[in-house]
Amino acid sequence: MKKERLALLLEKFENGTCSESERAELNQWYHSFSQEERQLEQELKHYPDFLNTLKLTVWAGIEDKLPAIGEPSEPKRTRRLWAMPFSLPTIAALVVLGIFLTLAYLKHPANTIGYYTVTTRLDHQSKVTLSDGSIIWVKPGSTLRYPKSFDSLTREVFLNGEAYFDVAHDDKKVFLVHTSDITIKVLGTEFNVRSFKDQETIETTLVRGKVQIERDHSSKGQDVILAPRERAVYDKQSGAMDIEQSVDVRTIQNNGSFAQSLVFDETPFSTVFPLLEKRYGVKIHVEEDNLSCKLTADVEKENLEEILRLLEVSHRIQYRIVGKDVYITGKLCH
């Protein structure tokens, strides 16, 4: 496996966007790793204590992360301990990789890239200016991870949630936005990406310029190139990619402030309710056959109960709020 690909997979593992196929790639990589480890040990034969010390150090760093990815509280039992997406061989591989990365750092410490992580509240968005002059508006309830500077041949960021991008043009450095299942590739353009882990689709809407959408290795189908005012909707389950044309991009463009208005134009409630849940921090309970019904409305600055009262009048539904849970009854389709 090329080192660039391996670095990308581990980066996605670190920020939680690694897909099943990419996890399988890491497992497969491990099985071909033993020879490299022997070569490393040969190189360090003059420093007998260094290898073991370094392994213990790297392993300690990995152990610190285990509770966050599902390790039980009693790690000394003899039964299977880790209820996590990675096998023990892969964790061992990461230990050895950590050694190589540590050696690389010792040889070239100035090339080590640091990262920033921005996580927004449900009622707030953040404006991020990257080192190349690109601007990203990280929308409510989202997380963006990006390097302090773009020192490599590419400009790469990692998104969980929704963000609006205004990318500075650079013919020599492609800009990549990594999500859980797809990667958006651009040179200089303006677009919006919506990719939450708990939603079934990933939406990419192009305002100007041109973007290329690449599926991960487990998905079939060709890459897709979008033209302005087109939206690609990727289904995580099936791997299908639908293209919508003549999209009203005014509903997703930013002016640098938190977008108070939610504009729905024949939008299915399967899209409306997740937006309201993330904006107001609630869980909406509704019968599944109502999710295909559609809403046309311009919701501006209303609080959640005002929106529910609007639906009560326009769609003749009943609602009940219990703490952070909202229960909706009645038929939304008429």
Domain ranges within the chain, ordered by starting residue: 3-62, 115-253, 260-329
Exposed, middle or buried: residue 56 (CB in 10 Å: 0-12, 13-18, 19+)?
exposed
81: confidence class by pLDDT, cuts 50, 70, 90: very low
Of the chain, the percentage scoring pLDDT greater than 70 comes to 63
Query: How is domain 260-329 classified at the architecture level of CATH?
Result: 3-Layer(bab) Sandwich (3.55)
Q: Say whether 260-329 and 115-253 share the same fold.
A: no
pLDDT value, residue 300: 64
- Of 57-61, 155-159, 307-311, the poorest mean pLDDT is in 57-61
Q: Which CATH architecture has domain 115-253?
A: Sandwich (2.60)
One-letter amino acid at 281 equals G
Query: How far does CA 1 lie from the centroid of its chain?
Result: 23
Residue burial 73-93, b: 16+ Cβ < 10 Å; e: rest: eeeeeeeeeeeeebeeebbbb
40: confidence class by pLDDT, cuts 50, 70, 90: low
Average pLDDT over residues 285-294: 87
Measured distance CA(305)–CA(86) in Å, rounded? 43
Average pLDDT of the segment spanning 159-163: 92
DSSP state of 209: S
Q: Does 199 or 253 have the greater pLDDT score?
A: 199
pLDDT score recorded for residue 327: 93
pLDDT at site 85: 47
What is the model's pLDDT at position 91? 53
Q: Looking at the predicted structure, is the pLDDT value of residue 217 above 80?
A: no
94-117: average pLDDT: 57
pLDDT at residue number 156: 93
String of b and e for 232-253 (b: at least 16 CB within 10 Å)?
Answer: bebebeeeebeeeeebebebbe
Cβ-based neighbours of 293, under 8 Å, separated by 6 or more: 268, 269, 315, 331, 332, 333
Residue 249: partners with Cβ closer than 8 Å, 6 or more residues away? 205, 206, 207, 228, 229
